[in-house]
Each structure stands twice: as structure tokens, then as C-alpha cells.
Amino acid sequence: MPADAIPGAAGNVVGVGVDLCDVDRLREAMRRTPSLRTRLFTAGEQAYCDQRRDPAERYAARFAAKEAVLKAMGVGLGACALRDIEVVSNEGGAPSLVLHASAAKVAAEHGVTAWLVSLTHVSSLAQATVLALGPRGRPE
């Protein structure tokens, strides 16, 4: 789907990010370190994931999305708080991104004005693909 067919989407691709997360590895990390949930995920993300049959699959998909966002901006871990990158879902379940505080600042510095995100998961792996979009016109 072209970006101009998406309400509110900008025209130029600023960056692309893809990440894959091992569900069992994240499940074990969250079991060993319970505070990881609140360090990485917003209250809304926790509420969404915790109401599912296997929350770890949803957490892993959201973790992959957060890392894919960083890759799409061309920055590494530590550029912003992962909790400041939030995956939200509409009533139909389609994911989108909301950036807060440090993540919103980094995105603005990189000319990102809109996002496209796709998530998928199976029992063992979760994957996210993210497009960072910027203003229409010639890319600089």
C-alpha cells in the first residue's frame, strides 16, 4: 500500500527496520527479572499482552518492534528508552506506534513524521517490520 493511501502517512521512507525475537528467551528473561516488564513495556502494552493466552508471544512481538524502530532510525540501543516506544492496537487488532519523550525526540531529529509497522509471531519467534516515514518531497 503506498504511503499516500494511508491517512496521516508522510511520503518518503526515511528508514526500514526488521527484528526477530526468540519468544522463549524473552519469556525466561522476564521470569528471571520481573522488573523487565515495567522497564521495557508501557502499562497499556502490559495490559494488552497479559490478557492473551500466551503473553510472551505478544511481548516478544512488541520488543521486536521497539528494536526495529531503532534500526529504522539508524540508531542503536541506548539512543532512547525502549519504554518510550509504544505499540498500540486498534479495535481490529492492527498495530501502530506511539513514541513518547526520548523516542519522540530522536525520531524528530531524524525527520520521522509517521510509522508503518507489521508484527507476526508463532510459538517460538516474533518478528516486526517497521517503516519510518518523513516529509513528502525530495529526500535530503
**pTM recorded for the entire structure:** 0.89
Tell me: the pLDDT tens digits for 82-100?
A: 999 999 999 898 999 999 9
* Mean pLDDT to the nearest integer, 110-131: 96
- Kindly tell me if the per-residue pLDDT of 8 is higher than 80: no
| Residue-level pLDDT at 118 | 98
- Between CA 106 and CA 91 the distance in angstroms is 29
Domain boundaries, the chain: 12-134
Q: Which architecture, in CATH terms, is 12-134?
A: Alpha-Beta Complex (3.90)
The residues pairing with 129 across neighbouring beta strands, listed in sequence order, are: 18, 118
